Amino acid sequence: MMMRRLAVLTVCAALGLLAACDPADKPAEPFKGIDITGADYARDFALSDVEGHPRTLADFKGKATVVFFGYTQCPDVCPTTMAELAAVKKQLGADGDKLQAVFITVDPERDTPEILKAYMSSFDPSFVALRSTPEQTQAVAKSFKAFFRKVPGKAADSYTMDHTAGAYVYDPQGRLRLFVRYGQPIEAWVADLKQLLA
- H-helix or E-strand spanning residue 3: helix 2-21
Which residues are annotated binding-site positions? 74, 78, 163
Cα–Cα distance, 197 to 130 (Å, whole number)? 24
Q: Do 129 and 105 contact (CB within 8 A), yes or no?
A: yes
Residue 2 or 150, more confident: 150
Domain 32-197 annotated CATH 3.40.30.10: yes
**Which of the residue ranges 22-26, 62-66, 124-128, 152-156 would you say has the lowest mean pLDDT?**
22-26
Averaged pLDDT of the chain: 88
Q: Do 197 and 66 contact (CB within 8 A), yes or no?
A: no
Which residues are annotated binding-site positions for Cu cation? 74, 78, 163
Write the DSSP symbol of residue 143.
Answer: H
What's the pTM? Answer: 0.84
What residue spans define the domains of the chain? 32-197
According to the model, what pLDDT value does residue 158 have? 86
Q: What are the φ/ψ torsions at residue 131 (nearest 5 degrees)?
A: -150, 165
Confidence band, pLDDT 50/70/90 cuts, at residue 130? very high
